Amino acid sequence: MSRERGNLIFIKDSDYGRDTETFIKAALERDEILKWAYILHDKDIYNEHDMNARRYGAQYCWADGFLGMEKYSSKEEYIDEQMKLPPFIGDKKTAIWVVLAITDRESNKETVAGWFNKQFYEIRRAVDRTEIIEQLKELTQEDKGSRLLEKYLYPDDEVKANFDFRAYIDNPPKENKRLKRLKDIFIPRHIYE
């Protein structure tokens, strides 16, 4: 069993005043943090995927009957009105710091959340090396989800880390065949792929 736990944290650039990076660096100065890496996602723009999500969100609001819906004569009119509001395709998204703190097993989510002035449910936890590798891929947005959503692909040199994160990604753990067989028996393949 791996002794490392990944803790992925998202922080808006303006959350901690003018110098959020200084706050992040101070939070990472803990003995419990074995490795860390972070990046500022400041080149992302709204694309067609974001607009589709907004359109579906508007449909959900209409179906739920939120206040103010009565002034629209149809669902289509409401959705059209919502889609005329900013942001638009090509607009820049709010800058977000993506921080990965790899801790030992003893550090729980509540403790890590406290270091970053977050709630425990805002921390995405990884419990083995394979999951940590996927979190590291989110820093550059080379993970499968980011690629499907056509997000900006950040170069490695924008990631600040106290270890060679690329070597960590390129050397995944050897597959435990017995564990894989059990996983295939008990968990349908479409759930974990």
- What are the pLDDT tens digits along the chain (193 aa)? 468 999 999 999 887 777 899 999 999 999 999 999 999 999 999 999 999 999 999 998 888 888 888 889 899 999 999 999 999 999 999 999 999 999 998 889 999 999 999 999 999 999 888 899 999 999 999 999 999 999 999 999 999 999 999 999 998 877 666 766 766 776 665 555 4
Residue type (1 letter), 83: M
Cβ atoms of 4 and 75 closer than 8 Å: no
Cβ atoms of 17 and 88 closer than 8 Å: no
**What whole-number distance in Å separates Cα of residue 39 and Cα of residue 19?**
14
Place of tokens 């939120």: 66
Taking the CA atoms of the chain, what radius of gyration do you get in angstroms? Answer: 20
Q: Kindly state the helix (H) or strand (E) to which residue 41 belongs, with its residue range.
A: strand 33-41
Question: Which pLDDT score is estimated for 64?
Answer: 84
Question: Which pLDDT score is estimated for 137?
Answer: 97
Judging by DSSP bridges, how do beta strands 4-12 and 96-104 pair with one another? Answer: antiparallel
**What whole-number distance in Å separates Cα of residue 171 and Cα of residue 164?**
11
Among the listed residues 5, 18, 21, the one whose alpha carbon sits nearest the alpha carbon of residue 160: 21
Cβ atoms of 86 and 42 closer than 8 Å: no
Q: Six-digit token pair at 171? A: 């050397």
**What whole-number distance in Å separates Cα of residue 146 and Cα of residue 169?**
16
**What whole-number distance in Å separates Cα of residue 44 and Cα of residue 41?**
7
Question: Which pLDDT score is estimated for 127?
Answer: 87
Q: Is the dihedral of CA 187, 188, 190, 193 positive or negative?
A: positive
Q: Where in the chain are the domains?
A: 4-44+93-192, 48-83
**What whole-number distance in Å separates Cα of residue 50 and Cα of residue 45?**
9
- Architecture per CATH, domain 4-44+93-192, reads as 3-Layer(aba) Sandwich (3.40)
Question: Which pLDDT score is estimated for 111?
Answer: 95
Q: Is 33 helix (H, G, I), strand (E, B) or coil?
A: strand
**What whole-number distance in Å separates Cα of residue 58 and Cα of residue 76?**
10
Task: Write down the pTM of the prediction.
Answer: 0.83
Judging by DSSP bridges, how do beta strands 33-41 and 160-161 pair with one another? Answer: antiparallel
